Structure 1
Amino acid sequence: MARFRIPPVAGGFAAAGAVALAATCWVVFPPSVAGQASPARPAVELPLPWPAQGQASAEVQGLGTLGSRGERTPVPIASVTKVMTAYVVLKDHPLAPGDAGPRITVDEQAEAESTSAEESTAPVRAGRTVSERDLLALMLIPSGNNVARLLARWDAGSQDAFVAKMNREAKALGMTGTTYTGASGVEDSTTSTAEDQLRLAREVMKDDTVRAIVATPSLKVDGVPGTVVNTNTLLGRSGVIGLKTGSSTAAGGALMWAARSSSGALILGVVLHQSPGGTPSAGLQAALATSETLIAAIQRELPAATR
């Protein structure tokens, strides 16, 4: 899809929220037919508060791109990686709506990794069996790195073999700026761009299982103590219905998000590399804040722009 940018007015930045003020206008072009030039005239113009740092990209299903902001240089994406892990697992082992899928035995490695103080994990126990759907939930909702690697071993025999599948799928989706080096995203060497991850968001939201899981604020899983709480605290605000958070020192904060407009249109977006170099929690809060500001502006501007 083609797009045209009206450059931002110099100096228009907000200090606390780290967003570029609405002087930045992005022009939406409707999707073009492959091999044909995009239309000369834009369909919609939206003034949007894009993040002042990092990179971001957004689109409205059926309308087209809302544009992108920031460098197209690949950056670490942390646990947003798990969206591709889910995509590969479900492509190999699809689930019908509401289906729990096969039961998978938790191995000793997944249990041993569950006590790590260095990364986000889910408290699973060796020898227990957990359904495919519940393991996907433990990976996507509380962002269990140990569960991501367990699913990779179950699907492909080893994490390395699974990563090869991840990169093949990325190539097939046209994600030319993406390199996966692990199933969980804990490795800083897993890098991508906002535009690439938006391509993945578009595909993964076609899956009923993913849509249901990422829209879940919290749940209980048999054999797992306590309540599993979603790291995406934007759920239920500004029409947000998913998708996945990510954070690390190198990645800063990252968020792939999905929301419904007041008319029911699906809005997808990705924000990467927010406040890198600090604590993961500070980066995540920055990604959530900038995303919420951007989503709210799209929700507000879109109805008027499409009348």
Structure 2
Amino acid sequence: MLWGAVAALLLTLLGGWAVTTRAGADPAGPAAPGPATGRLALPWPMGGQASVADTGSGRSGSSGEQKPVPIASVTKVMTAYVVLTRHPLKPGEPGPTVTVDQRAQDESHSLSESTARVEAGQRLNQRQLLEMLLLPSGNNVARLLARWDSGSERAFVTRMNRAAADLGMTRTTYTGASGFEPTTTSTSDDQLRLARAVMRDPVFRDVVATRESTIGGATGTVANTNRLLGIAGIVGGKTGSSTPAGGALMWAAEPGRGARPGLILGVVLHQLPHTTPATGMQAAFDATERLAVAARQGVRR
């Protein structure tokens, strides 16, 4: 009775921002939607699409038309997922060493995409490469990891799409390892499935929770592009932005006081596309902060 009254009040205050929620999902991994069990009121973004899951209770909801849209560098979450699935790491373990090739060095000087500074012949371990992939969002590092893992980016992309199919991501198509290609498209619901799976990996969780890391050598220190770390309980995620994609963010937040254990996971896509990447990214940050604050305060188990 109390929950019903609170939900009704929130729905009124938020002007109808509400979607049917789902229960019974695996709190750590992908699951098909279950039957509707109630309504979760959150301040959903006015445009684009968003999905949120409370892994403590199994409730989840989404907003916007779930049609495939460009996801920019959120793509790198799947890149990391495939690498960690095929080359698992334990917390604190550096992993195998990879030698930087000339192509990765040449791409590091690009002015048209996000990169991480590297030099041919530089030797970096897998953990360092994951940090360079996920913190500064190095497109050249994404492609380097793809070549290291599968021999070519094309072969690696095949693995990415196979992994997406295995996770039930039926509206997702990967065409590159970095997200630079606007032909890589997905939905917030599909990316939420990936978030459930990848956040089970302690190494991934640790990397995306890192504010900055000193790599050394030509790379120096790399900083996390996720400016919401530490705000509204947010403990990790991955940014993405481009003119076609607008702003995008996969995020994870700790639950509010009085909640059951488990993370609140969310994905925001297609915020102010066809403006500038910076404008879209700010819109994604704003939408995410509102969702995380409301979810932590309003979702009780």
Secondary structure of 2:130 counterpart = helix
Structure 1 pair 37–271 and aligned structure 2 pair: CA distance change class (3 A): closer
- Scaled by the length of structure 1, what TM-score is found? 0.88
Query: Corresponding residue for 2:19?
Result: 26
The answer to whether the 8 A contact 1:78-1:254 is kept is: yes
Query: Corresponding residue for 1:222?
Result: 216
1:238 aligns with 2:232: yes
Query: Corresponding residue for 2:178?
Result: 184
Q: List gaps (5 residues or longer) in structure 2.
A: 1-7
The answer to whether the 8 A contact 2:175-2:184 is kept is: yes
How far is 1:302 from its partner? Answer: 1.4
The CA deviation string for residues 22-56 of structure 1, in whole angstroms up to 9 with x for no partner, is 532334342169x99956743xx432100100000
Write the distance in 2 (CA, Å) between the matches of 1:37 and 1:194: 14
Secondary structure of 2:267 counterpart = strand
Partner of residue 298 from structure 1, selected from 291, 295, 298: 295
How far is 1:63 from its partner? Answer: 1.3
Size of the aligned set, in residue pairs, is: 287
> What do you get for the CA RMSD once the two structures are aligned?
2.4
Partner of residue 169 from structure 2, selected from 157, 172, 175: 175
How far is 1:232 from its partner? Answer: 0.4
Percent pairwise identity: 56
Write the distance in 2 (CA, Å) between the matches of 1:94 and 1:32: 25
Write the distance in 2 (CA, Å) between the matches of 1:188 and 1:123: 24
Write the distance in 1 (CA, Å) between the matches of 2:33 and 2:218: 53
Query: Corresponding residue for 1:270?
Result: 267
Query: Corresponding residue for 2:3?
Result: none
Q: List gaps (5 residues or longer) in structure 1.
A: 1-5, 13-19
Structure 1 pair 46–92 and aligned structure 2 pair: CA distance change class (3 A): same
Write the distance in 1 (CA, Å) between the matches of 2:50 and 2:32: 26
Secondary structure of 2:189 counterpart = helix
Q: What does 1:111-190 align with in structure 2 at a 5 Å threshold?
A: 111-190=105-184
Query: Corresponding residue for 1:282?
Result: 279
Structure 1 pair 41–208 and aligned structure 2 pair: CA distance change class (3 A): closer
How far is 1:152 from its partner? Answer: 0.1
- Scaled by the length of structure 2, what TM-score is found? 0.90
Write the distance in 2 (CA, Å) between the matches of 1:46 and 1:174: 24
How far is 1:219 from its partner? Answer: 1.3
Structure 1 pair 149–31 and aligned structure 2 pair: CA distance change class (3 A): same
Query: Corresponding residue for 1:200?
Result: 194
The CA deviation string for residues 156-208 of structure 1, in whole angstroms up to 9 with x for no partner, is 00000000000000011100000000000000000000000000000000101
